Amino acid sequence: MTPQKSKVLAKARHKRVRRKVIGSPESPRMSVKFSGHNIYVQFVDDSTGRTVASVSSLAMEHGKRRANTQVATSVGELAAAAAKGAGISKVVFDRGAAKYHGKVRALADAARNGGLIF
């Protein structure tokens, strides 16, 4: 598969997910973004367009900067704690263009174990 085709497929996957996932004040959208080095999570209320809470792997001490499953698990736990601090217990999971396996699944499972309801 050429790099151009994979970008086109990722963009289509992202549009398909965002068409179905809409956050509200009662259950904000838990948006997940992966770069090569870091993992970012935001809780977004789409009715007002505000970010309610956010967390990333930038603040963590995890040696080499890597966006792997171990770091994703830690970020998922931090995200659950940040959401609980903001009074959020129920969320809608937005994985973006990422497929639901590996670090995406590890982050989601850690957030569920932290008390978030998807």
Q: Which two tokens stand for residue 82?
A: 């940040």
Architecture of domain 3-113: 2-Layer Sandwich (3.30)
Q: Is the dihedral of CA 11, 12, 16, 19 positive or negative?
A: positive
**For position 99, what pLDDT does the model report?**
87
Residue 50 has pLDDT above 90, yes or no: yes
The angle at the Cα of 106, spanning 104 to 112, to the nearest 5 degrees, equals 105
Q: Where are the domains of the chain?
A: 3-113
Q: Which residues contact 43 (CB under 8 A, 6 or more apart)?
A: 23, 28, 29, 30, 31, 51, 52, 53, 54, 79, 82, 83, 86, 88, 91
pLDDT per residue as tens digits for the range 6-31: 889 888 888 888 888 888 888 999 99
